[in-house]
Chains A and B, each alone.
Chain A
Amino acid sequence: MITLDDVTLTFPDGDRRVTAIDHVSLTARAGEVTGITGPSGSGKSSLLAVAATLIRPDSGRVRIGGGSGIGAGSVVDVAALSPGAAAALRRERIGIVFQQSNLLPSLTAREQVLVMAHLGGGGARRGTTSAVTPDRVDELLDAVGLSGHADKRPAQLSGGQRQRVAIARALVHGPDVLLVDEPTSALDQERGAAIMALIAELTHERGTATMLVTHDLVHRDALDELVTVVDGRVVAGANAGTAARAA
């Protein structure tokens, strides 16, 4: 489970500051896909960035539950995390699927997933992501339907296959939270639907708390919850809300 509690985020814009997230609170439960939708510039990607510890909010807290790693079961003040601690939190407990697959051109599909074992600077055995083993990688590639493409590089894969590799990479270390940013934006409707169904299936199977940003609702069926964000505020959705602004 991941909970954003009264999070506010502003950006500088000339002499003033623009509010991207305005006192937002929301929860993505374990084993469920929580969709975040809204018009362009509504702040949904900013919410994802805060949840991913890629950006520090001006105020508020992010809590990640379950497991026993960094930040697990305890309240984490994201604003207080050092960049190193935030990176450790991401490689231990958070999986991220980007809008583009963002695969590394020099790695095969298997290596794209196995790389998660080496992000902390250690080898596969010494790395902090000790759950990432070659067997686990093959299991994930099989789960996303790519067992026959493990030795192919990104240039040899289709857009849908690349996104499947990205999903396997995001899940291989057994994260508590899966953050997904517009996973179907570069895919046609049929492949997009397959990707959304795969994310939902893996979320339910593995008990991951998935927070998925999407700009359209064509694949609404794959979502367990839907939160709508407008102008940085939650305007609709279960388990979510915008706190009354301080005067």
Chain B
Amino acid sequence: MFVAWRDLRFARGRFVLIGAVVALITLLVGFLAGLTGGLATQNVSAVLDLPGDRLVLQQPASGRPSFGESSISREARVGWQTAAGVDEVVPVGIAQGRATAGAASGSGSPVGVALFGLPASGAGAVAALAPRSDDEVGLSAGAASDLGAGVGDRVTVAGHTYRVAVVGGDAWYSHTPVLAMTPDAWAAADRRLGGDGAPTVLAVRGAPDWDAVAARTHTSAASHLGSLTALETFRSEVGSLALMIAMLFGVSALVVGAFFTVWTMQRAGDVAVLKALGASTRSLVRDALGQASVVLVVGIGVGTAAVVGLGALAGGALPFLLSPLTTLVPAVAMAALGLAGAAVALRTVTAADPLTALGSNR
């Protein structure tokens, strides 16, 4: 790194420029990752908190399973309950609806909520919201905040009034806060909203032959994460944001690679001289990669710090998730891709001919 450090100092303008570009790309990637994480949390956190090892959805005759269109028949439910290896089946109803604070004649503004019907005995954050009585509901923190309601208050859903029995943690589904009901109360509310009252998801615990039982019951079984593709809004939203992040990663690798390729080509004569003097290729490669690492670490560090700062500020106004997954992971990926880009420039270093340092070839 003897020459590399001095090059960094000597050509600081150029290195500050590329470092700033790396920092800006890191900021963009980090902000998009935070936004993606925040939107994803608002989209699927309730699904991820459902109990069971796998989630079972109705398998349509054609196309992919969908949370919005799934309806689990009694036969399918019994099929899973009686299948060998199944320990527990929790039927869960999910529907979109509106809730109003106060009695049916109340004047509160309607708030969009995700109606979850499941027994209170299940495990998980959503099950913890479930009330024990049909005339009660549980509100997630977001729903309680939007409705301005607390324990003991009344809320109206689809023309019926319920008492708030529980106010719990945050749980979101398709960008609406969760309102939990008993299975029977949910079925009745779903019918009032035009549905068939049948549960939409089975949360299954155990170790059955998942594919065989799913095929027999015309359903599909997937892990909680795997089932997220059955949520249309998640698929389109996260898909497009992830594509943007992937493209930014590609741009980052290309920009860093292009910079170091041009930089290395500019100093190909110096590399030839160093080789002629006896420099080992290993030391020259280490110098080149070390130089790229310094630029990347500083650029990515500044960019990540900006993400953390801006993310903390934006968290109140935007669905922004500030976590290692949205800061450190993109930073590490940026560093790895940047180094990969810089490694492309190593060809110029390894191929430099020390003979060109002799005579008037330079």
Contact = CB atoms under 8 A, between A and B. Distances in A.
Interface in A84-116: 84, 87-92, 94, 96, 98-100, 102, 104-107, 111, 114-116
Contacts of A91: 277-279
A106 B283 contact: no
Interface residues of B, number: 28
A117 B2 CA distance: 9
B192 interface: no
Interface stretch (A18-26, A49-57, A140-148): A49-57
Given A90-B276, A106-B9, A121-B286, A100 B362 contact: yes
A116 B281 CA distance: 14
Contact of B3 (A52, A87, A106): A106
Chain B CB within 10 Å, residue with most, of A84, A87, A107: A87
B247 interface: no
A92 B276 CA distance: 12
A153 B10 CA distance: 10
B359 A45 contact: yes
A111 B278 contact: no
A: interface residue count bin: 35 or more
B357 interface: yes
B211 interface: no
B358 A118 contact: no
A55 B361 CA distance: 15
Interface in B279-295: 279-283, 286
A106 B359 contact: no
Given A87-B278, A169-B277, A115 B2 contact: yes
A49 B362 CA distance: 15
A88 B282 CA distance: 12
Interface string B254-271: 000000000000000110
B276 A119 contact: no
B277 A96 contact: yes
A120 interface: yes
A83 B9 CA distance: 31
Interface in B210-241: none
Interface string A218-247: 000000000000000000000000000000
Nearest to B285: A121
Interface in B141-167: none
A115 B3 contact: yes
Contacts of B279: 87, 91, 119-120
B355 A121 contact: no
Contacts of A104: 3, 6, 270, 273-274
A49 B355 contact: yes
A120 B273 contact: no
B144 to A, nearest CB: 63
A54 B278 contact: no
B281 A84 contact: yes
A181 B356 CA distance: 13
Contacts of A102: 269, 273, 357, 362
A73 B243 CA distance: 64
B360 interface: yes
A119 B280 contact: yes
Contact of A45 (B270, B276, B281, B358): B358
B275 interface: yes
Nearest to A88: B278
Interface in B1-17: 2-3, 6-7, 9-11
B112 interface: no
Contacts of A90: 276-278
A209 interface: no
A121 B282 contact: yes
B208 interface: no
B357 to A, nearest CB: 6
B354 interface: yes
B358 A48 contact: yes
Chain B CB within 10 Å, residue with most, of A48, A107, A123: A107
A143 B359 CA distance: 26
B354 A54 contact: yes
B278 A98 contact: no
B2 A118 contact: yes
Given A102-B269, A118-B2, A120-B283, 15 more contacts: A88-B278, A90-B277, A91-B279, A94-B278, A98-B357, A99-B359, A102-B362, A104-B270, A106-B7, A115-B274, A116-B278, A120-B278, A121-B286, A123-B2, A181-B359
Interface of A: 45, 48-49, 52, 54-55, 83-84, 87-92, 94, 96, 98-100, 102, 104-107, 111, 114-121, 123, 153, 169, 181-182, 185
29 contacts: A49-B355, A54-B276, A54-B355, A54-B357, A87-B275, A87-B280, A90-B278, A91-B279, A92-B278, A94-B278, A96-B358, A98-B273, A98-B357, A99-B358, A102-B362, A104-B273, A105-B10, A105-B270, A106-B6, A106-B7, A111-B2, A115-B2, A116-B277, A117-B2, A118-B3, A119-B278, A121-B280, A121-B283, A169-B277
Interface of B: 2-3, 6-7, 9-11, 269-270, 273-283, 286, 354-355, 357-360, 362
